[in-house]
Amino acid sequence: MLSLRKKILVAIDGSPMSDKAAEEAVRLAAGNAAQFRSKVYAMLVLPNAPRTTFTDFVPPKPVTETPEWGEIREKIFYVIEKSAQEADVPLEIKVAHGDPVDELLGFAEREEIDVIVIGSTGKGFLKRKLLGSVSDKLVRNAKCSVYVVRG
């Protein structure tokens, strides 16, 4: 268990594994005494908006600026918001655009995060070698601890 106030970053993408990671991050934060309350940051990293071409008259809006965003956001962050509220853990939601590894590492460094919690997708050897894995890259490059939650 954590013994002092910690800043915990959890990567969220709406998948069942990220929901497990969210619950684990809240459990870690809730394990502290009241005077050492930890804070959880839940971060969703969306891909950069598609580039416009010369045939596009109006560039597409980012998903966060569409009417459907409220419903999408609610579904993606439901588990972490519910878990944090039930455990009375401070939670801050972040949405970024770009490469997930770069955005998570950059945020962790800027905010002096103590531990990153991420779910493992369980990719096979070949897929991991060809595409890489966000959790693998975070483990290799993060300056803080990384907690990989497995299914």
pLDDT tens digits, 16-60? 999 999 999 999 998 766 656 789 999 999 887 655 555 566 666
Strands 39-46 and 115-119: unpaired
pLDDT tens digits, 63-101? 777 788 888 889 999 999 999 999 999 999 999 999 999
Residue 114, pLDDT > 60, answer yes
Can you identify the CATH homologous superfamily of domain 7-149? HUPs (3.40.50.620)
For all residues of the chain together, what is the average pLDDT? 83
Two structure tokens written together for 49? 């908006």
In whole angstroms, what is the distance from residue 89 CA to residue 106 CA? 23
* Residue-wise DSSP of 3-25: -S--EEEEEE-SSHHHHHHHHHH
Q: What are phi and psi of 12, to 5 degrees?
A: -120, 135
Considering the chain, what percentage of its residues have pLDDT values greater than 90?
Answer: 54
Q: Which of 95, 94, 98, 104 is nearest to 137 (CA)?
A: 104
Domain assignments of the chain as residue spans, ordered by start: 7-149
* Residue-wise DSSP of 110-144: HTT-SEEEEE-----HHHHHHH--HHHHHHHH-SS
Residue 130, pLDDT > 50, answer no
pLDDT of residue 106: 97
